Amino acid sequence: MIRSLLVLLLLGIVTPFAIAREAQPTGDDPAVEQRLHKLSQELRCLVCQNETLADSRADLAEDLRREIREQIKAGKSDKEIIEFLTARYGQFILYRPRVTPTTYLLWFGPFVLLLGGLFLLFNYIKQRRDLVSEKPLSADERRRAEELLASDSAKETT
């Protein structure tokens, strides 16, 4: 028991290092690689679509990483590089779509739905409360109740 726990513990310590080694940047300049990694995590690999450029092993992703690496070395800013890529591949390459009129629904739709839901919930609760709460009888109702009671007691006496 203790031994298997120890093995597990050891595995827990060792595996993160094994993973970390695999993800280590391969280029020569660590600062460039770090920027490249950060940038390419924001970018979509167009071949595999649900992978970032940083994670993808597709040929095109490698070419694009090379392109980005060269542009970083040439002193381009992140914004310029993203501009370069969107001019060629469109906004689809961005994992975080820009806020433009065409993406308003995408960005704000969930909040609209949330507000709509809150509105419906509020209305529903209010309706329930009105149903449950005791309301004083109107004059009409009181008279009817008294009539009923009177006829009832009249019946009892007979």
Partner 1 sequence: MFKYLIPLALFLVLVVFLAVGLTRDPHEVPSPLINKAAPTFRLPQLKDPSKTFSADDMRGKVWILNVWASWCVSCRDEHPLLIEYARTGVVPIYGLNWKDKPQDAIGWLEDLGDPYVLSAADLDGRIAIDYGVYGAPETYLIDQSGTIRFKQIGPLTPDVWSGKILPMVQELNRQGTAR
Nearest distance in Å: CB 47, partner 1: 6
Stretch that binds partner 1, among 25-33, 34-42, 85-93, 144-152 (CB under 8 A): 85-93
| 90: region left, alpha or beta (phi > 0 left; psi from -120 to 50 alpha) | left
For residue 84 the two structure tokens come to 């370069």
Q: Cβ distance 111 to 117 under 8 Å?
A: no
Nearest distance in Å: CB 63, partner 1: 5
Candidates 30, 41, 63, 145; binder of partner 1 (CB under 8 A) is 63
- Does 33 contact partner 1 by CB under 8 A? no
Stretch that binds partner 1, among 26-34, 63-71, 75-83, 125-133 (CB under 8 A): 63-71
Going 81 to 87 to 93 to 95, the CA torsion angle's sign is positive
Candidates 32, 46, 54, 94; binder of partner 1 (CB under 8 A) is 46
Angle in degrees, CA 108, 99, 105, rounded to 5? 30
Judged by beta carbon, residue 32 or residue 89, the one nearer partner 1 is 89
With b meaning 16 or more CB within 10 Å and e meaning fewer, what string describes 8-29?
eeeeeeeeeeeeeeeeeeebee
Candidates 32, 54, 60, 94; binder of partner 1 (CB under 8 A) is 60
In the complex, the residues that contact partner 1 under the rule CB under 8 A are 46-47, 49, 59-60, 63-64, 67, 86-92
